[in-house]
Copies of this chain bind each other. A is one copy, B any other.
Amino acid sequence: MATIVIALGGNAILQPGQAGTAAEQAENIRKTCVQIAGMIEAGHRVVVTHGNGPQVGNLLIQQEEASAVVPPMPMDVAGAMSQGMLGYWMQNQLDNLLRERGIVKPVVTLVTQVLVDRDDPAFKNPTKPVGPFYTEAKAQRYMAEKGWQMKEDAGRGWRRVVPSPNPKAIWEKEAIKTLVDAGAVVICSGGGGVPSFLEGEKLTGCEAVIDKDLAGQRLAADVGADLFCILTDVPKVCLRYKQPDQEMLSRVTLAQMHKYASEGHFKAGSMGPKVEAIMRFVEATGKWGVISSLDDATQAVEGNAGTVIVP
């Protein structure tokens, strides 16, 4: 029996082209949870973390659209809301699927804060686009009025950019560990957790976004996981992705992967942080990690699918 931390990508919850109704998202989550239920049925202990990009994007649009009547909430609060929403769907669907299989164990969501360093260079160079697209005029107004940093995004309009600092620690790790040790399935650190920094003894949330895979790595290390598994929409990590001589990786050592990464095979906004997160886990723990598609997940956690990264 292994303790596995699973990081789910946004596509496990909201697929491109879908409007994002509650019914659509709950059904996508149900399908994802079928895979997770399979792992639990096979005897593994599972901790689940997930992205929240499309959901927090929608929340930010709602904050703005209703701002004449309801005070808009800042990003740390919107992140916590998305943890409640997505966690609710996940614990409900996974618990139902487990009971269908005759498995009764607590499935719970913990609202999670993640410690970041206020001196993280990311705070001086915000790069992560969030929320809706704006016209240049509106973007100029918000930059002046709200102090937002905004960037033009490939001809699609202007978007707010926020810092994406490095996760230092999962603030609620002790409680998560208590629950895992008691046999619970824990959903936590959703959307990378609420980024929070310490000033003296005071922890304060901030307007930033932690990469959910990097936060998942911290989570996996903090709960003493045997395996860190990132699920995405491709079956394996590729060298020369989408080029004629593309090569799928099945089993790679940490040293090889470092070499591939330094050669620029993995893009910053997509496979880059996933590979980086798995490499950090393997490096920190001496255990193994895997990146796979959702469909192959139950095979991947046995080492029989996806891209396995070993020490």
Chain A positions near chain B (C-beta within 8 angstroms): 19-22, 58, 61-66, 69-71, 73-74, 76-77, 80-85, 87-89, 91-92, 95-96, 99-100, 106, 108-111, 113, 172, 174-175, 178-179, 182, 184, 194, 196, 201-205
Q: Is the CB of B70 within 8 A of A20?
A: yes
Q: Is the CB of B108 within 8 A of A109?
A: no
Q: Is the CB of B77 within 8 A of A88?
A: yes
Q: Is the CB of B108 within 8 A of A111?
A: yes
Cα distance, A172 to B104, chains bound together (Å)? 12
Task: Output the least CB separation between A221 and chain B (Å).
Answer: 18
Cα distance, A254 to B82, chains bound together (Å)? 42
Our pick among B64, B66, B73, B205 for the contact of A92 (Cβ within 8 Å) is: B205
Task: Output the least CB separation between A62 and chain B (Å).
Answer: 4
Q: Is the CB of B62 within 8 A of A96?
A: no
Q: Is the CB of A110 within 8 A of B113?
A: no
Q: Is the CB of B73 within 8 A of A66?
A: no
Q: Is the CB of A77 within 8 A of B85?
A: yes
Contacts known (A88-B205, A92-B203); A66 close to B61, Cβ less than 8 A: yes
Task: Output the least CB separation between A101 and chain B (Å).
Answer: 10
Cα distance, A21 to B63, chains bound together (Å)? 11
Q: Is the CB of B66 within 8 A of A88?
A: no
Residues of B within 8 A of A19 (CB): 71
Q: Is the CB of A85 within 8 A of B96?
A: no
Q: Is the CB of B108 within 8 A of A172?
A: yes
Our pick among B76, B85, B182 for the contact of A73 (Cβ within 8 Å) is: B85
Residues of B within 8 A of A61 (CB): 66, 69-70
Residues of B within 8 A of A196 (CB): 92
Cα distance, A108 to B179, chains bound together (Å)? 12
